[in-house]
Structure 1
Amino acid sequence: MGGRVIGSAPLTGTEASGQLEVLQTATGRSIVRAVGPEAPLTQDRMAAEAASLAMLPDDVPTLAREWFVDEVLPGAGRWVVLGYRNEPVRPPHDPWDEADLAAAVELAIQIGTIEAPPGLPDTADVIDVGAWATLAETRPPGLAAFTPWLADKVDHLADIARHAGEAMAGKTVVHGALRRESIMITDHGWDATSAHAVDWFTPSQGASFLDVVLLLPHLRVDGAPPPEVLLDHHPLPDADPEALTCAVTATAGALVLESMRPPEPGMPHGRAVQREVAHAALEWLRSRLGN
């Protein structure tokens, strides 16, 4: 940071999560996220984000990273720290207001206009697009309790998802993990806002609409209008309706399957959140399939 830290405070709006701090030195400020050994999965994701940001195009809408630390400290274990340039940003309002909601959806659309750099994996290889096939084969006990609608639909959904590789293919950047926690807002006055994405730990390349597909169920859980209502206000350019339905099918299946697995280390409530988002994705899928 170029000097000794002389003060710190939570970034406005992140006091509850404790994830972001503003550190003050004699020469300036940085926005910092630091994670200790209590959350190894988050540490790995932050390290992956640092590597991803180094290869992503300059026009990707994110906070500018200034430095990165990944060290094992004597007596304190591993600490991973990301330092971002100090900018006037805040988390989205809770609950979402119309301006922040619009900025979030437009952020997802904007990311889908950026050409992916060489070396990014295909989104269909990052998301478990074969989840419905797995569920059709294994029929886990928890599936019947998930929602009665799935009782006679799993095989049909598996058939739709078999085309996900083609439906989700593309050459644009996909963030892959957009949700409230990964979005920062800048206010421009006169109620104008824009959004930036953080948590770039799993970028990939795919169809331009994929971040919208992945984001809208999370917004629905947060109290936003149904996905189809948001799409009416924020149309997806050049999105094929059948490809969109296939992508919704595949991602809903991945959420259902993931939500039924044991908790990840350091994230005891993660599966419960996934289950809520899976329900929202299934609600959207039912509306697109018309049944």
Structure 2
Amino acid sequence: MRRRPTWSELPPSVRAAVEARLGTRVTAATSHDGGYSPGLASTLSTAAGPVFVKAVPVAEEFSARVYRQEVERSSVLPPDVPAPRARWVLDVPADGTEGGWVAVAFDAVPGRAPRTPLIGPELGAVARLAREIGAVEIAPGVLPELADELDVTCTADLAADRPPGLATYDPWFVEHLDDLAALEEHAAAAARGGALVHGDLRADNAVLVGPGDDLRAVAVDWPYANRGAAFFDLVGMLPAVQAEGGPAPEEVLARHPLPAGTDDDAVTAVLVALVGYFVARSLEPDPPGIPHVRAFQRAQGAAGIAWLRRRLRA
């Protein structure tokens, strides 16, 4: 597992600014080392109760922007959504020795991370969470439209550019890129809908709460919240489930089916777009501060390709 910076490793000026914003001292901190961003992600214990805080240098431009976006989008989620409440965004200015930082705070969720691989009751809890999120209706204009933010050109770009490393994937995928790109053209329309979409639901973005038969999951990390198709989060998480050693997508869907009325062709079009994204990104250089993400994208791409072959009976 990757390791994030801990509370004690933050610059003193950042710790002081966070404590001032909290209005109390931090007495203990528990780091949450999963996920794919380079900053602090810790539950901080205080006299006023626990709070979950993330912090990153503003020089990490992508992560800093995503942290701000997460608070913005989390703040408009309906109150019945299984998600922690966003509290605040804090800008810590540069001082004589340190550059600036951005910190964000959320309610702490009293639970635990799912085990890897995601199987059994824990998989069931996260799959039910995906269905629960997709059952929430969102009015137009509250969140961005998934169809406008989903990357729906990666497969076509792969077909046109044939980048180095593409041949390391399943030859079937490489040989059929033009046909798959034609399916990808329908992905934006397929992603439209009036449901809440988490947009990045995986085991590392879920917290398990409750024992035994009462086990349930809460979704965290909402920077990509959208309005779109109710099936998206369940479909989107399944390549990661298999990539991390869990069951194949069809096995999961046999127990936890997609929402009633889901169109098979829409699922296929969206899956092509997701696979194209994973493959294309896996062939790019490592992003600063996150050297492990390309391998995970590759594993998801490979799992998604295998699922596509089965869906298309190829």
Q: Distance in 2 between matches of 1:30 and 1:269?
A: 27
Specify the alignment match of 1:143 in structure 2: 166
Contact 1:184 1:196 (C-alpha < 8 Å) held by counterparts: yes
* CA distance 1:268–1:16, change in 2 (3 Å): closer
SS at match of 1:24: strand
Structure 2 residues not aligned, in runs of 5+: 1-20
1:67 aligns with 2:94: no
TM-score (norm 1): 0.90
Does 1:230 pair with 2:236? no
Cα distance in structure 1, aligned partners of 2:34 and 2:282: 25
- Return closer, same or farther for 1:19/1:103 CA change in 2, 3 Å cut-off: farther
Deviates more, 1:87-96 or 1:40-49: 87-96
CA deviation digits over 1:250-273, x for unaligned, max 9?
Answer: 211122112222222222222221
Matched, 1:4 2:27: no
- Does 217-226 or 28-37 show the bigger shift? 28-37
Gap regions ≥5 residues in structure 1: none
What one-letter code is carried by the residue in structure 2 that aligns with 1:126? Answer: E
Name the counterpart of 2:280: 257
Q: CA RMSD in A?
A: 2.2
What is the deviation of 1:242? Answer: 1.7
Matches within 5 A, 1:194-209: 194-209=216-231
Corresponding position of 2:63? 42
Is the alpha carbon distance of 1:58 and 1:262 closer, same or farther for their aligned partners in structure 2, counting shifts above 3 Å?
A: same
Q: Residue in 2 aligned with 1:83?
A: 105
CA distance in 2, matches of 1:236, 1:151: 28
**Alpha carbons 1:99, 1:192 under 8 Å: kept:** no
Distance 1:52 1:94, change over 3 A: same
1:116 aligns with 2:159: no
TM-score by length of 2: 0.84
- CA deviations 1:141-195 (Å, max 9, x no partner) are 32222221223211110111111122221111111111222111112x3342111
Contact 2:28 2:46 in 1 (8 A): no
Deviation at 1:27, TM superposition (A): 3.1
C-alpha displacement of 1:65: 2.4
Aligned sequence identity (%): 37
Quote how far apart the aligned CAs of 1:40 are. Answer: 3.7
Q: Supply the distance in 2 between the matched residues of 1:159 and 1:22 (Cα, whole angstroms).
A: 46
Aligned length: 288
| Aligned residue in 1 for 2:191 | 168
- Counterpart code for 2:27: G
Residue 57 of structure 1 contacts residue 117 of structure 1 at CA under 8 Å; is this kept in 2?
A: no
CA contact (8 A) 2:82 2:218 kept: yes
Cα separation, partners in 2 of 1:8 and 1:126, compared to 1, 3 Å: same
Q: Given that residues 127 and 254 in structure 1 are in contact (C-alpha distance below 8 angstroms), is that contact kept between their aligned partners in structure 2?
A: no
**Aligned residues of 2:173 and 2:305 also touching (Cα < 8 A):** no
> How far did 1:10 drift?
0.8
Query: Structure 1 72/151 Cα, relative in aligned 2: closer, same or farther at 3 Å?
Result: same
Residue number in structure 1 paired with 2:149: 126
Residue 80 of structure 1: CA displacement?
2.5
The CA deviation at 1:133 is 1.6
Match of 1:103 in 2: 125
